[in-house]
Structures are given as C-alpha cells and as structure tokens.
Chain A
C-alpha cells in the first residue's frame, strides 16, 4: 500500500516536471547515419555507372508513335513559342527549366536523347516506362514518380521539342 502511494507520487512529480519543462530543442537530425536514397546513386541497370538522367544515348528512339523526326538547322521560333505555351500548361508542374524538380530539367535534352525519344516520352509515357530501359531507369532515379500522360497531340509534342532546342 505504502509502496503504491510512493510510486504514484513519484510518477506525478515526474509528470509535473515534464509538463512545466521548457520545450526541448529538438536535435538537428537523426543520430542514425542513413544512406541517402537511390535517387542520388547511379541507376543500377546502367552499364556505364552514370545516372540515367546524365546518360547519353543518341541512337535510341524509344517506343511510341514517333519513328522519325528531322530537325532543320535553324530553330523555328514561332513553333518554339507555341511549344513554350504548351509546356507551361501541361508540363511545368513537374519539369522546371534549369532545375531538377519532380522530373528532370529539359535543358540540353537533345545533347543526350534523340528527338524521337523525347517525343515518345511525352506521347507514350506508360509504354516507355514498360518497354524502354532508359525510361525505366529514369522512373527509379526520380523516386518512382510516374510521368503523366498529358494527352498532347503529336504536333504539340513536336512544338515542345522545338522549345527544348532553345533551352541550353
């Protein structure tokens, strides 16, 4: 009986102490050293060991409706402006110019990918992730965040491609 009373009192005191105590400044971080997630490590299936987003593949045309795109020397500025408008409406929520965001930045994409691959990624993202190894690696690199099919027409995708040519 006595012990119980003593225990209850002790508990109450501890409770009061913790209540009255100042808000403890939380420690800066976990004390547990954790490995950074795979986003920062090279994608596993890449033979080269470079990240999927940095890999250069100028032969792969990807999987989808686009099989052949010829880019004239000069940039069609009207088409590029049209493409920018489409991009701002349909793509900007995930792809920011000059900045890795939900997905990769479009800058310099044609130095790493064929025009056909870029348009197929826009027009057929579900198929690309299933059948194109590079697209699959990109999905893993970007947190498993799927690229949304925004229902662009082929002409709109072509215009977006032209806009990308202006982004170095």
Chain B
C-alpha cells in the first residue's frame, strides 16, 4: 500500500519536473540553450577580455572580465575609496586637488585605452571627470590612477577622454560653453560671448605624462562626444555638437530648434604645426596637475598658471562644420577611418559622413556658410549614406572590424546591426532596458575584437532581485560572432555605467605588476630595512617609521605619545611576495584603514584625544597569525609623559 503510494508520487514528481523543464525552456525567450556554457569561465580559468566600465556619478572605473561579467576591481579615480584608502591616505590626497580645492567626487564618463598605430596597446586608460573638468590616467601595470590634469575654460567635460591613434593626444571637449575667461556677465548675453574649449592634451610617449598642448576656442555650442580619425583620417578629430542655437534656457526646447546641428572636424595636425611655429596665445589660467610617482609612492599637485589658446579662424583649413541631424550624440569613426557616424538622437535616421567626400568638398571650397569664421560644408556633399529609420533615439555606434556597425537606440531600447556601405539593417536585439552606450572590445580602434558587444542599460527595473527603490545598474552581453546577435548574459555594474572600453586580456595581463620592489621604494618616510624602524618627534609632530611583514608590526609598542600630538604612521610593507598586502587600522584615526601592497609605503595621521593605551591592528587577512598582528600606543597627558620609546618583542 505504502509503496504503491510512493510509486504514484514519484511518477507525479517526474511528470511535474519534465513539465516545468519544458516550460522554462519556452520562457527563455531570446536565450539559446547553451548561453550559460558560453559565458561560464571555469574556476581558476581566466576571462578572454577586460572591460573597463565607467562608474558615472561614483567617480570610479570598474574592471570586469568578459564573457563572465565578473567584477575584479573598482578603481577609484575621482573618488575617495575606503577599500584602498585612495584619497584618504596622505600620499594620494593631492590627486583630488583642483583649482576649486579638494574635490573628492566627480562624474566619470568615457574611458578610452591608449593606442599605438591605431591598435590598443593596453598601457593606460584615460577617463574624464565631467563635473569639475579633469582627465585621469590609469596605469594598467598597476590598475591605479597615476595622473589627473584639470581642464581650464571647460565646464561639463563631456566630449572626452578619447585618444588619437598613437596616443599623441587625449582630447577633452567641453559640453557647456562658458565665458572665457570666466567673468561676471549676464547669462542672456550668452550668444557670441560664450566659448566652447576643445582641449588637446599631449601624452609623453614613455611615461604618459599629460600636458595641455592647446585649447581650441570654438563657438558656444555644446560639444557632446568625440572620436579620433584613424588610418586615412589620422590627424583629424570629430566632435558632435548640439545647441548650435546657442540657447541658455529651457534647453530641451530651445536647443532643439534647428533641423541640423554639426559634427566639427578638427585637423589637429594643422593646429599642431601652427602651435609649433609659435601660433596661439598664452592665456592666464589656474588648473591643477596631479601626478602620482610610483618610486616615491606619493602624489604631488602643481597649480599651472597659463594655457595656450587657439582661435580656429586664425588657422585656415583646420576646422570645418559638417551639418548633421539632429542634436547628434555619438560621433563614431569606423576602423578604416572613412566613415563618421552621427547618431542624431532626435532624428529618425543615422547619418554617415565620408571622410573622402569631406576632403573633396574642402578642396573645392564647397561651403554652405560659416559660423564665427568656421566654414560649414554642405550636408549632401559630405554624406556617405543614411541608415533609414533603424530605430528610435540613436546614441552610439561601435564596429566589429568585419564591415558591420552596431548602434544603440535609447527610446526603442535595442541594439541594431547594420552594414557599412550598403546601410542596410541586418539584425536587431532588444535591450532590458533603455540602452545608452555599447562597447565592442577595441571598437574604437583600427582592429576591433568583434566577438562580443556589451550594452550598458539606463534602466534595470525587474531584471534582478529588487533592492528597494534603487536597483542595481546593469549591462548585457551579446555574442556578435555570428550573423545574428545573441543575448548571453545580464550582469550588474557599479553605478552609473556610461561608457566602456574593452581589450583582449593577453595584451594587459602580461604587463600587470605583482609587487613594488623594496629597493626602488623612494618614499621620503619609507624604510628599506627593519633596521631603519624608528619614531621621531618634531614638536607636536611625531613620525613613526613602521614596518609590517607576516605577521607583526615593528614597532608594536610605542610610548611617549602625548594628547595633542599629530602622529604620522608611515607604514612600509616589507613583503616581496605576490598578493600579500597588509592593512592597518588605529582606533580613533580619521583615516581608519590603509591597505599597503608589498614594497609600498602609505601614511595616515592620528591625533589622539585622550590618554590611554590604544590598540592598532592589521586589517587584511595575511596569515594564520593575522589575528596576532596587533600593537599598542600609550598616550599620556601633554604635560606628563614618559620619554618617546618604541619596541618589538622586548
């Protein structure tokens, strides 16, 4: 009786299982059955690509693996980071200095990877701070921000930070035009008085040091995005513009009056030549240049006091305007350098310009008009073709290197694949939901790796477990190696992912540093040997030259500290082994955690407020004796303290 009942139940169970399996397959929708296999990276194996995805208003840059979508690191750029103490420790605070003071937040938008001969070389990532205009450089041997330069005369540094094909320049264009120089004037007098600065920052080839070579003072439009020419168009840079109406209020109406705005084509080689011959004028300015030195493990901030500005009308043949419908956002150049795709976000069509036709029109001086001395070419003379009604709200186009282009459509929420030259739509896939930018690794170079596209979505809604009103930011991965795109994966991202750059992992990982060599540590308060451990008093400042190694601090007992002292803990990690960082936390210290890599020195300041014996400890699990990695500081009243002494194991 019992067994019969059991038999029945089992049968019913199997039936239900089968039924539900069949059902779930039907619910897979766009997913092919082996999608999971294609994004699965087995334990211990590596992803094929790095994806550097901007963190938007968090001011960061996050590093993911593709195809797995796994998050490896969040690199603080224009932000303080409690995990790594960037912007909190004494060494990196100067990185966030600006002409407005210490600004530890920004809005990071568009990462771009350095190039050699038009191909990604994996040395640096550049990214823009949009709000308080800055450009940062992240060194991919250490995955840390090593340089930030502020951009004067700019506001809403949005058409940035894209590099030329040999990383000669990283380019930063202003979104908002402003009075140049800044001055107190009526907003209503915008038209003709406000300027849009397009800044060309030279990149020194060996160490990547940045310096503003020149600023091109353009008409007071909004400069939205930009991309370099490459191959045949190397030497040119293209900027999308909107608000060619030069409105300053009720922009969503007033900046959308003209049926066409422009893509500005800038012949930077001509301007470079002009500047080389003494062209342009030095203008007073005030902007910060912050450099992190890997030898001293310290950043310095220098205020620069002038900048070279160039008026485009002074350099004939350097700047032209290409009429483009309507308020174009993306301004993307295909791998050959021939096509410039303007994604007019209020237009139903995608406009593609031809570089060859543009040169021809320039040569024959087929101008339709001019704006503030800059020739305007005729739309029909420069247009290569139009992708007709491919979707609603086009934003950004990337390329697979096989003659295809992929454009995101924000309003219709999809990625559309189309063919360069024939302009026919080949495929479309929905995005969940409201896609902004997209990324094909190497998509902004002569040689894209056309295997995947990542779509960065603006809206997530129901795609993940809900986490209250604020849900995760999200990206989606599509396989584009076949004729049709296939959605493989949703993965959460750090907010807000505006834009991304990707690269084959092999190019980067072989250059990734494992440790900092102790013998090259030139930190002024670093120590190269445990014999140099000491504590020194200089008035109310006390400098602790401390070492750490598995698993102790030296010294671990300090006495003679007084209430009112400023105690600088300069802590050197003496380890020389891969992945053995140590941390340190001191009770009551404002900067309450450092994470110090092998061979590195970092500093925090502690101002003890009360007498007592106060402990400190290691915050990063380092060995079986990690819990024993601790010490004490004795703090005495200011007028009654023992002599300064320190020890370990005595």
Contact = CB atoms under 8 A, between A and B. Distances in A.
Contact of B529 (A88, A101, A102, A144): A88
A27 interface: no
B518 A89 contact: yes
Interface stretch (A29-37, A74-82, A147-155): A147-155
B530 interface: yes
Given A92-B530, A151-B577, A146 B624 contact: yes
A89 B577 contact: no
The 6 closest A-B pairs by CB, nearest first: A151-B576, A93-B530, A92-B530, A150-B576, A93-B549, A88-B529
A145 interface: yes
Interface of B is mostly: loop
Interface string A145-168: 110111110000000000000000
Contact of B515 (A88, A94, A151): A151
20 contacts: A88-B531, A89-B528, A89-B529, A90-B574, A90-B576, A92-B529, A93-B530, A93-B554, A143-B625, A145-B550, A145-B551, A145-B623, A145-B624, A148-B550, A148-B576, A148-B580, A149-B577, A150-B575, A150-B576, A151-B515
A144 to B, nearest CB: 5
A59 to B, nearest CB: 29
A150 B518 CA distance: 10
A148 B625 contact: no
Contacts of B554: 93
B623 A146 contact: yes
Given A90-B576, A93-B554, A148 B549 contact: yes
Interface string B519-547: 10000000011110000000000000001
Nearest to B514: A151
Contact of A102 (B552, B580, B624): B552
Interface of A is mostly: loop
Contacts of B529: 88-89, 92
Nearest to B533: A93
A104 B354 CA distance: 74
B649 interface: yes
Interface size class of A (residues with CB under 8 A): 10 to 19
A38 to B, nearest CB: 14
B551 A93 contact: no
Interface in A117-157: 143-146, 148-152
Contacts of B575: 148, 150
Contacts of A92: 529-531
A101 B556 CA distance: 14
Contacts of A101: 649
Contacts of A93: 530, 547, 549, 552, 554, 574
Interface string B612-631: 00000000000111000000
Interface in B547-585: 547, 549-552, 554, 574-577, 580
Nearest to B521: A89
Interface in B292-340: none
B546 to A, nearest CB: 11
B625 to A, nearest CB: 6
Nearest to A87: B529
Contacts of A94: 549
B334 to A, nearest CB: 46
Nearest to B547: A93
Contacts of A143: 625
A139 B217 CA distance: 68
A82 to B, nearest CB: 13
Given A88-B531, A93-B574, A101-B649, 9 more contacts: A90-B576, A92-B529, A93-B530, A93-B547, A93-B552, A145-B624, A146-B623, A148-B549, A150-B577
A143 to B, nearest CB: 7
Given A143-B625, A148-B549, A150-B577, A90 B518 contact: yes
A160 B349 CA distance: 72
Interface string B565-609: 000000000111100100000000000000000000000000000
Nearest to A102: B552
A25 to B, nearest CB: 18
Given A92-B529, A93-B547, A93-B554, A145 B625 contact: yes
A103 B443 CA distance: 54
Contacts of B549: 93-94, 148
A126 to B, nearest CB: 9
B422 to A, nearest CB: 57
Contacts of B649: 101
B408 to A, nearest CB: 47
B519 A89 contact: yes
Interface string A86-112: 001110111000000110000000000
A144 B576 contact: no
Contacts of A146: 550, 623-624
A136 to B, nearest CB: 14
A150 to B, nearest CB: 4
A145 B649 CA distance: 15
Given A88-B529, A90-B518, A149 B576 contact: yes
